[in-house]
Chains A and B, each alone.
Chain A
Amino acid sequence: MSNPKDYQVSVEELAALMKRTAGVQVDPAALRQQSDAGFESFGLDSLGLLGIVAELEKQYGLGLPEQAERCKTPADFLALVNGALKTGV
């Protein structure tokens, strides 16, 4: 397991997770460009985001804040998740 403090979730990783856990195909460049657009606009529903949170928690071996699954946009989600990974909370 990598040290959480060394690790940040990239847009590319988020795109890969969206594909793997929710079957949603999204181009990382588009995700980066429209990172303030709602997850629904990429075809990801709330259960899909819940699955991504669970995957990240498994991968990093820690619990993410409850607000993570309520984030509306990729930008908000990555900011929150990466903030939590940095502090290791």
Chain B
Amino acid sequence: MSAGRRPRAVVTGLGVVSPHGVGAETFWKAVADGTSSLGPVTREGCGHLPLRVAGEVRGFDAVETIEERFLVQTDRFTHFALAAAQLAMEDARFGRADIASPYSVGVVTAAGSGGGEFGQRELQNLWGHGSRYVGPYQSIAWFYAASTGQISIRNDFKGPCGVVAADEAGGLDALAHAALTVRGGTERVVCGATEAPLAPYSVVCQLGYPELSRADEPDRAYRPFTAAACGFAPAEGGAMLVVEEETAARERGAEPRATVAGHAATFTGASRWEQSRAGLARAIQGALAEAGCRPEEIDVVFADALGVPEADRAEALALTDALGAHARRVPVTAPKTGTGRAYCAAPVLDVATAVLSMEHGLIPPTPHVFDLCHDLDVVAGRARAVEPRTALVLSRGLMGGNSALVLRKGA
């Protein structure tokens, strides 16, 4: 670490398991093409429920990817996390040989849905057969902390670990927490979020959200910033990232791909979308201040894009409040309309997309969205060839969290 310079947290690897497919490059290709992977809900036991459209992860074989002793004690959301963490480390070319000490690597994840499928199975055993039929792994598998714990155990990482349970915006907060950990002296942190909310129990929990889209057709279910906005389609999957201290990355020969430059979070209450305007604006201002970034430097905004008219309006106004006249000029995109909204994992996928967008010099479009009804330059239809150097990623949770994160290309 050079004297006098604040240590930087840089992204060196991306691991993605999403409705668009497994692996960051597969994901990016679909995102850049504006492909939609929204479709009918086909997960077992969900067919009779009034949620018709979601982003399901297909073509992911947990048995092929993860050892049996981890499979039996984990839920699908942790299977995604274990796989995505491995992909992120491969992408970062970070292997066992690079680990000087197990205490130099930490793990931070965020979760908002937990292990619903595993939990439901065990609870059914409890009331169907009795307490002797509940397996011991119920005590760990369905909790939010499961993925952090299992990633650290599987890889023998003993550095600072954490779990952020802070609503969907917690996905960004987890990355910020990882950046803080790295700036505090830990060489690297494997961080991110994955979710598997398409199990019957979990879907029933979501049916109480007025923001959930009940639309039948995949191309109409999730259309933020349009007059036809009718809520959001949920999704499963997510992304894990390798975040490293810049010098530690360079010492092992890894090139920083992006810098986690600034972050801030606020809270404005559950489903109080009008109030989220002030909270989100404040989070954006805080993230810009930490990054030492003027509003005009933002080259692309990855919007929260909830798809609820009142919330979309609040987000558009928050951008104007925080960015001034630049809010009308800066390209705004929401590629998550092509995958659905994977709760805590949604903004982490957006961060992965932002890194790839800066690397490819291409801002991906917002599938299913045209006929905009807000004064924003939303990238619709086709990807836009520009060279973004600074990206702003926004996220709001249904329970009232608002977060903003500023990423800069390289270091």
Q: State the A residues within 8 Å of B (CB).
A: 19, 21-25, 43, 47-48, 50-51, 54, 57-58
Contacts and interface: CB of A to CB of B under 8 A. Distances in A.
Main secondary structure of the interface of B (DSSP, over half): helix
A21 B73 CA distance: 9
Contact of B73 (A23, A25, A57, A58): A23
Contacts of B133: 58
Interface in B99-151: 132-133, 135-137, 139-140
A44 to B, nearest CB: 8
A21 B136 CA distance: 10
Contacts of B270: none
Interface stretch (B64-72, B208-216, B281-289): B64-72
Contact of B71 (A19, A23, A43, A48): A23
Interface of B: 67-73, 132-133, 135-137, 139-140
Contacts of A51: 135-137
Nearest to A52: B136
Contacts of A21: 72, 135
Closest 7 CB pairs of A and B: A23-B68, A23-B72, A23-B69, A50-B136, A47-B136, A51-B136, A24-B69
Given A23-B72, A58-B132, 14 more contacts: A21-B135, A22-B69, A23-B67, A23-B70, A23-B71, A23-B73, A43-B69, A47-B137, A47-B140, A51-B136, A54-B135, A54-B136, A57-B132, A58-B133
Contacts of B137: 47, 51
Nearest to A61: B132
A25 B68 contact: yes
7 contacts: A21-B72, A22-B72, A22-B73, A23-B67, A48-B136, A51-B135, A54-B136
Nearest to B133: A58
A53 B337 CA distance: 48
A1 to B, nearest CB: 14
A36 B123 CA distance: 36
The winner among B72, B135, B136, B139 for most chain A CB atoms within 10 A is B136
A47 B138 CA distance: 10
Contacts of A54: 132, 135-136
A58 B71 CA distance: 23
A38 to B, nearest CB: 16
B130 to A, nearest CB: 9
Contacts of A22: 69, 72-73
A54 to B, nearest CB: 6
A25 B70 CA distance: 12
The winner among A23, A47, A54 for most chain B CB atoms within 10 A is A23
Contacts of A47: 73, 136-137, 139-140
Contacts of B139: 47
Contacts of A58: 132-133
A23 B137 CA distance: 12
Contacts of A25: 68
A3 to B, nearest CB: 20
A62 to B, nearest CB: 11
Contacts of A43: 69
A78 B137 CA distance: 22
A81 to B, nearest CB: 16
A42 B132 CA distance: 25
Contacts of A50: 136
A68 B158 CA distance: 30
Nearest to B137: A47
Contacts of A19: 68
Nearest to B131: A54
